Structure 1
Amino acid sequence: MKKKDRFVCWIWVAPFVKQYLLTNFKVYDPDWSELVNISQDKSLDVMFRSRLVKPSNRYDKRISQGGNYKYRNCKVALEITKSDFYHHGWSLSPTDESALANAMEIRCRTILLTYLSVAYMVKPNLSICIQQFYDTFHFDESTWPSDSIRRIWNRDTTIDKNALKSGIEEKINKIILVQLFKNGTISQSGKEIYENNSI
């Protein structure tokens, strides 16, 4: 699809993926409010362009019969080059579109679980951690419902919470000892003794 001098490929994504793309890759253009350019992210760009160049129709029938993809109800425009537009077209097969959307969902879930795992160690209240996640990464209840986040957290979190907590405490103890030593509050030998006790 062409508009002015921009060439794009529209794809269906989940609301949280659309928000992620707009936050990280938005192209500011007065005529395109939902235009993103993922060329700066090499892994996503290679995945997208390879699917544009060499399409697959392996799961088209299954996807067209409904599947579990109704939550992908937002469209986003991925900018493509003029050369890609004329040589390979401007659309992905349902199989390729689904695979690309799935890869971006995995990326978003990785961000979510990484943030929540650390935030939960500092403040073990999942509701507060989710709100902090919203504030930090520009999501909200409409783009990524907290019920969905809780399901992902309960299903996919694999981090050993006790090991992470002990690792964080160890690092905090080292920082405190270094600061106390720099301030002259404890001596070098005292610092070494304290470090041996705290590790």
Structure 2
Amino acid sequence: MAITFSVELPCKPNVKVFIEQNYGQPVRFNKDKTLMALIRTLLERNDSRLNWRPINRSIFSDKVTFYISEYDFRQYGGSLSHQAIMDLNRLFDSRAKALMRSWCYAQYAFGKSKFQSIRAFQDKFGFTEDVWSFETIKKDCQRNNVFANEAKKLMENEFHKIIVAQLSRFRDINNPSHTTQ
């Protein structure tokens, strides 16, 4: 049986939930080759000069323990610098926010209200109010124009095109793009 070594990653509560949902419990990044290459690079460049900025424990209040192989441990090391911890948190936070924005955007485009879109995201992905609050998600969505009316109009136009194309295919309606004058 292969020996594994654990590495601790202080993180935000929403980042912890995101990591555990996507990489399992216990956390293993081995299947994501690109991420594993990044982690090896961050383990390798563990330099005391990168520890000038301390980890704010009030922000990074949770911890995730992930496992690396014996080879990775011997080749790259088993601890992360403060800068590497912040880099990984930034990466996973941006992935979680991209998921949140795209989910809320799609729900809103399909006719749900802002409130329903955010609650559906929280319920579907397990982000409770104490992990990732409704207000925080709402502010981020507003800041990034997730609930913009242009998005809804764009989706309505696309739906209209699809419906018209389908109906014209069955000869229920004339497709305006195929009519000749």
Instruction: Normalising by structure 2, report the TM-score.
Output: 0.83
**Which position in structure 1 is the counterpart of 2:54?**
63
Q: CA deviation at 1:160?
A: 8.3
- Aligned match for 1:163, one of 150, 155, 159: 150
Aligned counterparts, 1:103-122, within 5 A: 103-122=91-110
After superposition, the CA RMSD in angstroms is 2.7
* Residue pair 1:11, 1:76 contacting (<8 A) in 2 also: yes
Please give the secondary structure, in 1, of the residue aligned with 2:72.
Answer: helix
List per-residue Cα deviations over 1:74-93 (Å, max 9, x = no partner).
11122211111123322111
**Which position in structure 1 is the counterpart of 2:166?**
179
* Residue pair 1:120, 1:129 contacting (<8 A) in 2 also: yes
C-alpha change, 1:24 and 1:149, in structure 2 (3 Å) is same
* Residue pair 1:177, 1:195 contacting (<8 A) in 2 also: no
Aligned counterparts, 1:43-192, within 5 A: 43-64=34-55, 66=56, 70-123=58-111, 125-155=113-143, 157-158=144-145, 161-186=148-173, 190-192=174-176
**Which position in structure 2 is the counterpart of 1:36?**
27
> Stretches of 4+ moved more than 6 A in 1?
none
Q: CA deviation at 1:143?
A: 2.2
Q: CA deviation at 1:135?
A: 2.8
C-alpha change, 1:57 and 1:128, in structure 2 (3 Å) is farther
| CA distance, structure 2, for counterparts of residue 166 and residue 194 of structure 1 | 24
Counting aligned pairs with the same residue, the percent is 24
1:20 aligns with 2:36: no
Aligned length: 179
Instruction: Normalising by structure 1, report the TM-score.
Output: 0.76
Q: Which runs of 5+ in 1 are unaligned?
A: 27-33
| CA distance, structure 2, for counterparts of residue 191 and residue 11 of structure 1 | 57
Q: CA deviation at 1:15?
A: 1.4
Q: CA deviation at 1:119?
A: 2.4
